[in-house]
Amino acid sequence: MAYEALPEVPLGANPQGDAAMQHGPWRKRAELASGLTTIEAFLARVGFDRAPWLVVAFGGGIAAWFALPTPGLWLALLVGCGLVALAALVLLRSGGRYPYLRQAMVALALAVGLGCGHVWLKSELVGAAPIARPQVAEIGGTVLARQEQPAEGRVRLLLATRDPASGRAIKARINVPLAQDSKALRPGAEVRLRARLIPPAPPMLPGGYDFARAAWFQGIAATGSALDGVTVIRPGTGGGLSGLQQSLSAHVRAALPGTPGAIAAAYASGDRGAIPEADEEAMRNSGLAHLLSISGLHVSAVIAAAYLLILKLGALWPWLALRVRLPLVAAAGGALTGIGYTLLTGAEVPTVRSCIAALLVLIALALGREALSLRMVAVAAFVVLVFWPEALVGPSFQMSFAAVIAIVALSGTAGVRAFLAPREESWLARAGRNLAMLLLTGVVIELVLMPIGLFHFHQSGVYGALANVVAIPLTTFVSMPLIALALLADTVGLGAPVWWLAGKSLEALLALAHFTASQPGALSTMPAMGRGAFLLFVAGGIWLALWSGRVRLWGLVPAGLGALSLTLLEPPDLLVSGDGRHVGLTGAVPGELLVLREGRGSYARDTLLELAGMDGATRSLDDWPGARCNADLCVVRLARGGRDWTLLLTRTRDRFAERDLAAACERVDIVVSDRWLPRSCRPRWLKADRRYLERSGGLAIDLSDQSISRVADSQGEHGWWPEPPPRRPRTGVPKPQ
């Protein structure tokens, strides 16, 4: 009997089952397994360095807490992270096929959850609810801290006092004019004064600075100013580090007058309150503002100087050099010097952060490890986020760590390593390569920091990289050593010549700042960037920094999309402040912002210009032919989005007849007012009166697509955004015009 050849069937195969797997759930399982295998192979190939990514995930959990609006969503995120970690443990255990993927999913999910829970816990522990409403009251308290601001003509006190309305213990930040200052107003002083208190201010407009959030984590419930003289019941001692800091600042300013002395005082004691606004603005616009605040550059310079000095002096003593490991001694001396400098300069969060990072570098040097690595940066960032998780959403944390990560990532690339590799060459060629590398590093840092600057400040310097090539060596190797030498020489009365040299170096720094800031196009301004575009830049930057090889180039995709979104940004047509008093119109006059009120101060005007992405001038609506204004209100007509819009803007608190007001509202599309308007006022599209603005905050209105961005949209139910007060009963009606 002849047998036909049968097809070979692999052991354990099931032809019918295999055919069935081409359809239905079996096919989905096969595709899922294939996808998991691909991810596992990717992680194994590129090398998954867990430490930096865990810190990124921890920071992502903190950012999610700020972004999500309600406690229910925060709790859902925590539960979701736990479920993802549990699912990864249970479902990916099959034969140990996915070790990298399982570890990544479990660790990253838990890190996200820990970050969210950690910042939520700190918010509940340290957060201080703001006072209910503005008020003028007689208060008494204890001075906790003192900050001198002679350039502003005031002294800023932090008081431990009580809320005049509720009696609860609060911290209040009070501005006292210099004329009312006295030597007795030092930490520990018991004082009594009459002050105007207001809650910490939320952002004036969408995308603006959120002081209320910063005050919440600092425990500040009120800010204000003294109206009369301050009565000192018991003078403060003024001792300790705070007194030493103020004495040192005063000594430096006395030895070196003018702005150079104010900058030298900032370097020596961290007190930058005496720097004039014009010079500080020039430093900002030239990209050199980071040189005014004690941060990584200054702390690193002090620690490096102490380390090298101790190392070289120790090497001159053979007995010590033969018996003690000098790098350990130098690292210990540098650490003590850095800690002392941090405490002396006020121990602000950026300074402490920089000190922690520098101490980690010293530990690496003492242990013979690589001093600068992404793991070291990750450890420093984690330590900062553990103690100050709220720093994540601030520009200081983002800029400092973005710059350091950019430097480490750039120095680790193969091209840079090859370019900087030792070789036989003249000193001139070596100096040229180092200068080129310094310039390249400056350009990379400027590119990395530009999205952060645009997101937070809506402007970014263009020539900052070139200016920093000169300013950083000048500050690090000339100004700061001269200031230290002058202070040392003052102990024997010989500091005057050294102070003169230090002043000349600081004058050169100021001249560079003013020259750079005055160049055409030195400062690029842009309307407020959305969170989505900013997250694209962040995701692209992190991907570029933390991966190696060609796979890191995929980070250019989100970064490129973010850059493309910037080219599509358009300023809002209408900006309305949270109190309804300040209104800005864009696009009507090229290069100018039309405003409802000119105002006596510059803060409102500057904020309107920043959020509009303009660096030009403002013009009152009274001077624009498209508006009809009197002392009480303005009627404005705009052409936007293919139609004409009519706006009614009130300017005073004088009352109108309700019938006349209702008739006027019916004829306009938008009404903006800083007071409560009757329900009979019904414009065709939007009534942004005081009742509406108390719930929404400031507004950015795009008339072309009829969209409204509100400050409240980014606040959610976080503690620093209070519930609006109950509706007030109306008495009487407005009088006629």
CATH number, domain with residue 151: 2.40.50.320
Read off the tokens for 627. 């508006």
Q: In this structure, is the dihedral angle defined by the CA atoms of residues 99, 102, 105 and 109, taken in order, positive or negative?
A: negative
| Domains identified in the chain, total number | 5
Instruction: Answer yes or no: do 331 and 469 share one domain.
Output: yes
550 belongs to a structural domain: yes
Distance (Å, rounded) from C-alpha 391 to C-alpha 413?
Answer: 29
DSSP state of 632: S
Distance (Å, rounded) from C-alpha 220 to C-alpha 332?
Answer: 37
User: Could you tell me how far CA 406 lies from the centroid of its own chain?
Assistant: 18
Report pLDDT for 731. 40
Report pLDDT for 596. 87
Cβ atoms of 224 and 192 within 8 Å: the answer is no
Report pLDDT for 648. 92
Instruction: Answer yes or no: do 455 and 497 share one domain.
Output: yes
Distance (Å, rounded) from C-alpha 593 to C-alpha 574?
Answer: 10
213 belongs to a structural domain: yes
Instruction: Answer yes or no: do 253 and 200 share one domain.
Output: no
Fill in the amino acid letter for 567.
T
Residues in CB range of 239: below 8 A, 6 or more apart: none
Instruction: Answer yes or no: do 269 and 209 share one domain.
Output: no
Instruction: Answer yes or no: do 515 and 563 share one domain.
Output: no
455 belongs to a structural domain: yes
92, 126, 160: which is the final residue of a domain?
A: 126
Instruction: Answer yes or no: do 160 and 85 share one domain.
Output: no
731 belongs to a structural domain: no
Q: Which of 563, 565, 583, 562 is nearest to 573 (CA)?
A: 583
**Based on the number of CB atoms within 10 Å of its own CB, is 711 exposed (0-12), middle (13-18) or buried (19 or more)?**
buried
DSSP state of 689: -
Instruction: Answer yes or no: do 423 and 543 share one domain.
Output: no
Residues in CB range of 637: below 8 A, 6 or more apart: 626, 627, 644, 645, 646, 647
Name the pTM for this structure: 0.85
176 belongs to a structural domain: yes
Read off the tokens for 139. 């208060």
Fill in the amino acid letter for 398.
Q
Distance (Å, rounded) from C-alpha 112 to C-alpha 486?
Answer: 49
Residues in CB range of 728: below 8 A, 6 or more apart: 676
DSSP state of 687: E
234 bridge partner residues: 190
Instruction: Answer yes or no: do 309 and 430 share one domain.
Output: yes
Instruction: Answer yes or no: do 179 and 79 share one domain.
Output: no
User: Could you tell me how far CA 552 lies from the centroid of its own chain?
Assistant: 26
Three-state secondary-structure class, residue 567 = helix
Cβ atoms of 280 and 522 within 8 Å: the answer is no
Read off the tokens for 452. 């952060």
DSSP state of 716: T
Fill in the amino acid letter for 492.
V
Alpha helices (runs of H) in 368-463, residue ranges in sequence order:
374-387, 395-411, 414-420, 427-457
Distance (Å, rounded) from C-alpha 592 to C-alpha 209?
Answer: 23
Which regions of the chain are under pLDDT 70? 1-36, 44-48, 92-96, 238-241, 296, 370-371, 599-601, 723-737
Report pLDDT for 46. 64
Report pLDDT for 9. 39
394 belongs to a structural domain: yes
34 belongs to a structural domain: no
Read off the tokens for 661. 């007001």
Fill in the amino acid letter for 385.
L
Q: Give CA separation, 466 vs 358, 429, 434, 446, in Å.
A: 26, 20, 15, 10
Question: Which domain covers residue 174, as residue numbers?
Answer: 135-238
DSSP state of 572: -
Read off the tokens for 206. 């969408």
H-helix or E-strand spanning residue 576: strand 574-576
238, 258, 288: which is the final residue of a domain?
A: 238
Instruction: Answer yes or no: do 291 and 171 share one domain.
Output: no
Distance (Å, rounded) from C-alpha 299 to C-alpha 357?
Answer: 10
Tell the residue number behind the tokens 């100050």, with chain if given: 388
Instruction: Answer yes or no: do 578 and 668 share one domain.
Output: yes
542, 567, 592: which is the final residue of a domain?
A: 567
Distance (Å, rounded) from C-alpha 607 to C-alpha 206?
Answer: 11
101 belongs to a structural domain: yes
Three-state secondary-structure class, residue 588 = strand
Instruction: Answer yes or no: do 579 and 690 share one domain.
Output: yes
